[in-house]
Structure 1
Amino acid sequence: MLKASNGVWLVAEREIGSKLRSKTFMISSGILLLLTLAGVLFAGFQSANTDATPIAATAETASAVSEIPDVDVTTVTDQAEAEDLVRDGTVDAAVLADEGVAGYTVIALEDAPSFLIQALSLQPDVVILEPMTTNPLLRFIVAIAFGAVFMIAAATFGGTIAQSVVEEKQTRVIEVLLSAIPARTILAGKVLGNTVLAIGQILALAAVATVGLMVTGQREVLNTLGAPIIWFAVFFLFGFILLAAMFAAAASMVSRQEDIGSTTTPITMLIMAPYMLVIFFNDNPLVLTIMSYVPFSAPVGMPMRLFVGEAQWWEPLLSLVILLVTCAAAIIIGAKIYENSLLRMGSRVKLSEALRS
């Protein structure tokens, strides 16, 4: 038999090579990268192209109006000149001084800009005890990004492992492989090969997003996302190894491609859960905290908490230790199931039998 290390790399190279030779995989990966770049560029250009609203103001009101964001102030001498500019469409509205409670009069042709009315209205002082550290829209977008990338990558490459395992059983290629390579070596090679592909895709997406943020001048967002993206990659690495071992073990319990779903559906649900939770509860500190310590959702929950500044410096380290322990346990149990189920053909192998054999 081959040495264990040689066998692992041999299987890993076979997994990587078969995937890279697949036109479907290459095209889908290219589309995913293009969609990521397009989304970042669109968001950046949208935030940069905010046209200023033209507003006329007298000398008495010009200073107050100029403090309003996204306003282009045109100074006029009196009300008559202001009304002329409003009527011919040069400005959207005019702000004049009066002796009323607010101290301003807004002149518009048909409808006054609501943001202008709100900015000039008298408002009470507001004290926020727990202010949000990030923009709510940006927080939501980042939550979708982390959740979607984790779900797509884990489901894609986890499904690849499952199909590969069943295909080898169905065609009896596994019997030939086992004559030269131990079962656990084959499992390690499959996990390693698909992990390399998954991490490669994650790094490519991160590179494309970084380029997009730099091109659109969103360096502040890039600086904020730097550490969370690094932690996401670290957590995803071990989280995917955990899921990959589970996918391989679950697939080894069946002998036909059409039966894969019967054993891998629970794992797929574990992958989808973090995506759904982070979308609906991205502003809920309690849910994010729980997610950041559960091994299956930590790759999404912990980076989100780091992005919004809700995690202490030691929390990612503790969460990573929990993930590593769970990963080790999953590999041990998964290897036992995989080894005991590979050569059992026909009906689905029960979990209790796979563990007891």
Structure 2
Amino acid sequence: MSRATFASATWLVAEREMNVLVRTKGFWIGFLVTVLGLFAIAVLPSVFGGDKPVVAAVGSEAVKVLSGKDVEVREVPDLASAERLVRADEVEAAIVPDTTGESAIGVRVVALDESPSDVVGQLVAAPPVDLLDPSAVSPGVRTLVILVFALFFLLFGMGGAAIAQSTVTEKQTRIVEILVSTVPIRALLAGKILGHVLLTMGQVVVLALAAPIALRLGGQSELLAVVAPALGWFVPFLCLGFVLLAAMWAVAGALVSRQEDLGSTMGLAMLLVMGPYFGVQFFSDNQTVMTVLSYVPFSAAVAMPVRMFTGDARVWEALLSMGILAVTVVVIVLGASRVYTGSLLRTGGKVGLAEAWSRAE
């Protein structure tokens, strides 16, 4: 049987990897859950958290105090009527005249069994605030968007474990010996990475297109103008980062001969996924740490898009980070190719990195 050219062999393996993966229920269930989760994050806050508290008001002074507040006001004639509405749970609280002289604003709050913080908080007098550099999004939304970016990086990064599992399965069943008789070993690695990268790119593009729809459905169209540029950076960064991680996952699978031993070689790849995830989560408010993370190749895929979203990085910084990441991808893939070649046909136990490197052709 003649050996295929490197390019045709790579594409042949890539097609095989994609066909095998898209035929599994787990792939579609996982992707569907991810899409539904995206819509849930965008839509549910407006469904469950968008109602204004209903407050009863007794007298003109109470109505005046509530003027301009983010509450729904129901005027009632007297204190007894207000208390009935509170006890019937028709209003969250009632604002009534203060007859004791204790209140600085001339009214008191009547509630059932606990202080209504969302109402009381709006009654506290505060001076006007002039912001020199106002943020386009609230701190809560900022935290949520960073969480989504980090979570997608985690999901797709850990998804690369499928490469390790398919590699060790082929070794354990001896299928790899048939494959390498028709395709070069390096083409086998390139095809696996290419197949999974194309699937990942497809999923990321779908999510990037779905995000604006989800934001509009959630009534957060103003956030779209801020998130859209960050998504434009997130897609290429994530795809490059996935290539980097895919090479690590492939090596993890090639170094062992049984599924039971795979856990002993997956540690580094898992660390390179979990580390950036937690790093961005814990240090998103620390500009110094985030700047460092945005130039470290394994964390740049998520840290730099986050900095572009928060407005802490300029375009030239993103381009520089992407260049460093691209160069690192080439170096790591070449190194992984050598280790993969030296370990793929070795059976009988775990192969050390030094041994795999020295045995490579």
- TM-score bucket (shorter structure): 0.7 to 0.9
Q: Distance in 2 between matches of 1:177 and 1:87?
A: 80
Kindly report which structure 2 residues correspond to 1:278-297, keeping only aligned pairs within 5 A, or say none: 278-297=280-299
Q: Aligned pairs, how many?
A: 350
1:139 matched residue in structure 2: 142
Amino acid in the other structure paired with 2:187: T
- The structural deviation recorded for 1:243 is 0.8
- The structural deviation recorded for 1:162 is 0.7
* Aligned partners of 2:294 and 2:301 also within 8 Å: yes
Q: Distance in 2 between matches of 1:36 and 1:107?
A: 39
2:54 matched residue in structure 1: 53
- The structural deviation recorded for 1:192 is 0.5
| Deviations 1:5-50 (CA, angstroms, capped at 9, x unpaired) | 21111111000000111123223322333333333321232243x1
Long gaps (5+) in structure 1: none
Q: Distance in 2 between matches of 1:243 and 1:265?
A: 12
Identity of aligned pairs, percent? 37
Q: Distance in 1 between matches of 2:182 and 2:333?
A: 22
2:315 match: secondary structure:
coil
Change (3 A) 1:115 1:39: closer
Change (3 A) 1:70 1:282: farther
Q: 1:350 aligns with which of 342, 352, 358?
A: 352
1:83 matched residue in structure 2: 79
2:43 matched residue in structure 1: 41
1:228 matched residue in structure 2: 230
Change (3 A) 1:126 1:338: same
TM-score by length of structure 2 reads 0.87
Q: Distance in 1 between matches of 2:195 and 2:13?
A: 7
Kindly report which structure 2 residues correspond to 1:67-106, keeping only aligned pairs within 5 A, or say none: 67-72=68-73, 74=75, 81-89=77-85, 92-96=93-97, 102-106=104-108
Amino acid in the other structure paired with 2:271: M
Kindly report which structure 2 residues correspond to 1:97-136, keeping only aligned pairs within 5 A, or say none: 102-106=104-108, 108=110, 113-123=116-126, 134-136=137-139
Amino acid in the other structure paired with 1:238: L
1:293 match: secondary structure:
coil
Q: Distance in 2 between matches of 1:353 and 1:282?
A: 40
- The structural deviation recorded for 1:125 is 6.9
Q: Distance in 2 between matches of 1:115 and 1:160?
A: 47
Amino acid in the other structure paired with 1:68: K
Kindly report which structure 2 residues correspond to 1:202-221, keeping only aligned pairs within 5 A, or say none: 202-221=204-223
* Aligned partners of 1:239 and 1:296 also within 8 Å: yes
Q: Distance in 2 between matches of 1:261 and 1:107?
A: 60
Q: Is 2:345 aligned against 1:340?
A: no
Change (3 A) 1:121 1:161: closer
- The structural deviation recorded for 1:238 is 0.5
Q: Distance in 2 between matches of 1:323 and 1:107?
A: 58
* Aligned partners of 2:62 and 2:95 also within 8 Å: no
Tell me how large the CA RMSD over aligned residues is.
2.7
Q: Distance in 2 between matches of 1:290 and 1:256?
A: 38
2:297 match: secondary structure:
coil
1:180 matched residue in structure 2: 182
- The structural deviation recorded for 1:95 is 4.8
Q: Distance in 1 between matches of 2:57 and 2:223?
A: 34
- The structural deviation recorded for 1:101 is 7.9
Q: Distance in 2 between matches of 1:27 and 1:97?
A: 59
Long gaps (5+) in structure 2: none
Q: Which moved further from structure 2: 100-109 or 189-198? A: 100-109
Q: Distance in 1 between matches of 2:252 and 2:54?
A: 60
- The structural deviation recorded for 1:215 is 1.6
Change (3 A) 1:283 1:70: farther
Q: Distance in 1 between matches of 2:282 and 2:43?
A: 25
Change (3 A) 1:13 1:102: same
Change (3 A) 1:8 1:29: same
2:191 matched residue in structure 1: 189
Amino acid in the other structure paired with 1:332: L
| Deviations 1:53-85 (CA, angstroms, capped at 9, x unpaired) | 2242644564442122224263x7xxxx34244
Amino acid in the other structure paired with 1:228: A
* Aligned partners of 1:82 and 1:94 also within 8 Å: no
1:93 match: secondary structure:
strand
- The structural deviation recorded for 1:123 is 4.6
Kindly report which structure 2 residues correspond to 1:237-316, keeping only aligned pairs within 5 A, or say none: 237-316=239-318
Amino acid in the other structure paired with 1:35: G
* Aligned partners of 1:62 and 1:73 also within 8 Å: no
